Amino acid sequence: MNEKLKVVLALTAFLALVAGLEFVAGYAVYYVLEPENQQRLVATLSPHTELLVELGVLRLAILGVAFAAVYQLYVKGPLKIAEGIRIILNAHSSHRLEPAGPPEVQRLARAVNDLAEHSEALAHDLEAKVAQAKASVEEEKNRLAALMSELSQGVLVCNRNGRILLYNERARQALGASAGAGSAALIGLGRPIFALIDRSLLRHARERIEARLEKGETDPNAQFVFTSPTGQFIRVHMAPILTAAPPTQASEPTGQSAGQAMVSGFVLTVENITRDFELDATRDMLLQSFTEGSRASLAGIRAAVEMLTYYPDCESAQRDRFIRIISEEVNTLSGKLHQLTADHADSLKTRWPLEEMLGADVIATARRRIETRLGLAVRVDNLDHSLWVKVDSYTLAQALHALAGRLKEECGVGELRFDLSRHGRIVQLDLIWPGPALSQRVLQEWEGDTLRAGGQDSPLTLHDVLERHGAEIVYIADKEDGYPRFRLLLPLAEPLRPMLGAPIRYGESRPEFYDFDLFHQAGQTPELDHTPLAELTYTVFDTETTGLHPSGGDEIISIGAVRIVNNRLLRAESYEQRVDPKRPIDPVAQTIHGISNEMLRGQPTIDEVLPRFHDYCDETVLVAHNAAFDLRFLQMKETQTGIYFTQPVLDTLLLSEVLHPNQESHALETIAERLGIKVTARHDALGDALVTAEIFLRMIPLLAAHGIRTLGDARAAEETIYAKVNKY
């Protein structure tokens, strides 16, 4: 029952009781009087009836005010203290009670605060001991996270039901890029892998693995290739995760007996092989083209040679004709071979891997190659060992080797020197020689020639190598030391680091890219109402709009969301997208969220954004603060976009009314302050979504203390509050 209604009913009952008692007392006095005294009393009071009624009403009013004051002091105050105690116990241990009510209750509140201080000190001591006990586990976890981030291949780990419980950024890039824009959001903890890879394909691979396990094969892994919606070829290597089957599962239809190894999940390594596939296809086409196109020329040459061999005394004109045929066919073959070489060089370019490495290592590789294959003496005088470059070390060393070979063969150079220095964001690699100066025209000729030196030829040119590296080469003749030089200008690269950006520091939290508790989580079913709140997957979201009237034409301009999986907030899997509303923003709304019309130009429209956001929310429970407002904007677009959000919805505003009916405010900032949550980036869609998510996580144990443990319980409690709000 609504708290205000309770107060009104209690006050009405109290005043009715007082009035009834007064009436009974007056009637009893009147009844015991003698008849003549009764008549005298009536005659005395009759002229003052109106005054007596007014005095009675005034007395009841005074009693009503006194009742309200007593209620506020002795009932409302203790209720507030009770709510504060629940917050301390279940959500925010640093929360302290504000003494309210009579002096005795205030002393109780202060005693509770003292007890909370003592309890918090004990809890901190316990947390310190637990943290120390978990140090080794945390270190192993960080090592795993560092290892996953450093792997050059994409890796996903799924439980038996296909739910993702671990992935790295390579996997997000490989599958996200292959599946199209917005599909990277489908890779997340607890999400089904079937959104990216066909279910039947994975089932077939799993059955092959299980069949090999039953046969006792040592390598039960499976491998398959699938085509993404954008036409990319993705190779997947699938390996089982084996655990011992517990005794209670011996009778299950999986076929494992007690203690026998059973498949509890799978490790998937993914690789985009589209470029390799296209390269192989190009090579096959070139080979076939050269083979088919060469048969006629070879047949002509063979016939001409046979005629010259069998008829050595043929006429001079006929001999010249056969020689001309041989010359023409040889020229034809030479042209085809030249074209094939050029096409093959272009194919080679697509396979060059650029890796970050120290510039000193590049010079060391080139130095060994030049000394061993050309016999030139090479010195390194000025070398900055801190410089990193992103290069293909093989082709770059090959280019330096070719330049050194040309200097030796054509200029008689017998000694070389390397320098390596930095100029801003450019790395300067100098190849220096004591000897004759060259002209710029010579460098241009060498740049267009194929690389050859020491008996090793390459179809690539120096220009090809420089273009692939985004580098340039210049010739400098008037250096202070008097030595000419070739200077390669290479882009500076950052030192090697974990793919996710920040260096690994043990003890710091990392993005939540793994959740091994999902090994034990069954697939979600339609019976979500019976699922405990702590076991559900949530999408907590918020929107910013052009105004406050969705029916009046206002539009969404920003959507922010974050996921909660296994009672954990996954900040690394957030969603944020601004939207072009195709209409101006209300000036009042702009002062609140700070988003201007200029900031939205070029952003996608709501028709493009909602399908991707719907995929992000798939198979989750929606959570928002004042959810009716945000959902109304989404519902207004259902007919236009064909996107319907039919997921269950929880509203932290209504849940706060359920938990703390005696608090005056249920605004987002007030609830956050009450639960000890720091508010940042207010009125930013993603910032508000993050705050709402933290509030909701703090509410889950508070709801459990109220007997609200499942999604069905929470929805029923919300419906009760909503009905009361609409009624009163």
Q: Please, what is the average pLDDT of the chain?
A: 79
90-94, 119-123, 160-164 — which is least confidently predicted?
Answer: 90-94
Give the Cα separation of 377 and 375 in Å (integer): 7
pLDDT digits over 320-340, tens only? 887 888 888 777 777 776 666
How far is the CA of 550 from the CAs of 363, 608, 628, 634, 647, in angstroms? 65, 19, 11, 9, 21
Cα atoms in the Cβ-side hemisphere of radius 13 Å centred on 559: 28
pLDDT > 50? residue 273:
yes
- For the segment 200-210, the average pLDDT, to the nearest whole number, is 84
Six token digits for residue 265: 């999940």
Query: What is the distance between the alpha carbons of residues 71 and 101, in angstroms, rounded to a whole number?
Result: 9
CA distance 206 to 200: 10
- Which residues are known to be catalytic? 683
Task: Quickly state the pLDDT bin for 254 (edges 50, 70, 90).
Answer: very low
In this structure, what token pair is assigned to residue 461? Answer: 């040119």
> Does the pLDDT value for residue 561 go beyond 80?
yes
Higher-pLDDT residue of 151 and 684 is: 684
> Domain ranges in the chain?
3-131, 139-272, 277-349, 355-493, 524-727
User: Can you tell me the mean pLDDT for 358-366?
Assistant: 88
Grade residue 508 by pLDDT with cuts at 50, 70 and 90.
Answer: very low
Taken in order 222, 225, 229, 230, the sign of the CA dihedral is: positive
Percent of the chain with pLDDT over 90: 19
- Each residue of 111-129: pLDDT tens digit? 888 888 888 888 788 878 7
In tens, the pLDDT along 512-522 reads: 455 555 555 54
Q: What is the band of 524 on the pLDDT scale with cuts at 50, 70, 90?
A: very low
Mean pLDDT of 377-387: 89
pLDDT at 258 over 50: no
- How is domain 355-493 classified at the architecture level of CATH? 2-Layer Sandwich (3.30)
CB atoms within 10 A of CB 168: 23
The answer to whether residue 649 scores a pLDDT higher than 50 is yes
pLDDT at 600: 92
Residue 445 tokens read as 């000729």
Average pLDDT of span 163-192: 72
Which strand ranges, in their side-by-side order, compose the sheet holding 621-624? 568-578, 556-565, 538-545, 621-624, 649-651
Which pLDDT value is given to residue 518? 53
The CATH H-level superfamily of 524-727 is Ribonuclease H-like superfamily/Ribonuclease H (3.30.420.10)
What is the pLDDT at residue 301? 79
Maximum mean pLDDT: which of 45-49, 271-275, 314-318, 666-670: 666-670
Closest-CA residue to 578 (of 602, 601, 558, 556):
558
Top-confidence residue, 676 or 216: 676
Mean per-residue pLDDT for 470-497?
A: 80
Please report the pLDDT score of residue 30 as a whole number: 73
**What architecture does CATH give domain 277-349?**
Orthogonal Bundle (1.10)
Question: How far apart are alpha carbons 230 and 232 in whole angstroms?
Answer: 6
Q: Of the ranges 242-246, 250-254, 642-646, which one carries the lowest mean pLDDT score? A: 250-254
Residue 229 pLDDT grade (very low, low, confident, very high; cuts 50, 70, 90):
low
pLDDT category at 504 given cuts 50, 70, 90 is very low
Residue with the bigger pLDDT between 184 and 555: it is 555
Mean pLDDT (whole number) for 513-538: 69
Tell the residue number behind the tokens 């101006």, with chain if given. Answer: 584
Asked whether residue 81 carries a pLDDT value surpassing 90, the answer given is: no
Taking 90 as the threshold, does the pLDDT of residue 353 lie above it? no
Tell me the mean pLDDT in the region 533-543. 93
Q: Higher model confidence: residue 570 or residue 66?
A: 570
Mean pLDDT score, 134-151:
71
* Residue whose pair of structure tokens reads 């709501």 in the numeric block: 606
Distance CA 72, CA 713 (A): 30
Domain 139-272 sits in CATH at: 3.30.450.20
Cβ neighbours of residue 712 under 8 Å, at least 6 residues apart? 529, 530
Q: Sorting pLDDT into bands at 50, 70 and 90, what band is 505?
A: very low
Question: What does DSSP assign to residue 220?
Answer: -
What tokens appear for 375 in the block?
A: 């016999």
Indicate if the pLDDT at residue 101 is higher than 80. no
State CA 309 to chain mean position distance: 75
What pLDDT is recorded for position 278? 63
Lookup result for tokens 């020197």: 417
What CA–CA distance (Å, rounded) separates 675 from 84?
10
What is the distance between the alpha carbons of residues 335 and 344, in angstroms, rounded to a whole number? 14
- 134: helix, coil or strand? coil
| pLDDT tens-digit series, residues 384-436 | 888 888 888 888 888 999 999 999 988 889 999 999 999 888 999 999 998 88
Q: Which residue has the higher pLDDT, 675 or 187?
A: 675
Q: Tens digit of pLDDT for each residue in 303-324?
A: 778 777 877 777 778 778 878 8
DSSP codes of every residue in 129-177: HHHHHTHHHHHHHHHHHHHHHH-SSEEEEEETTSBEEEE-HHHHHHHHH
Q: What is the pLDDT of residue 127?
A: 79
Q: Which of 52-56, 265-269, 338-342 holds the top average pLDDT?
A: 265-269
pLDDT exceeds cutoff 60 at 485? yes
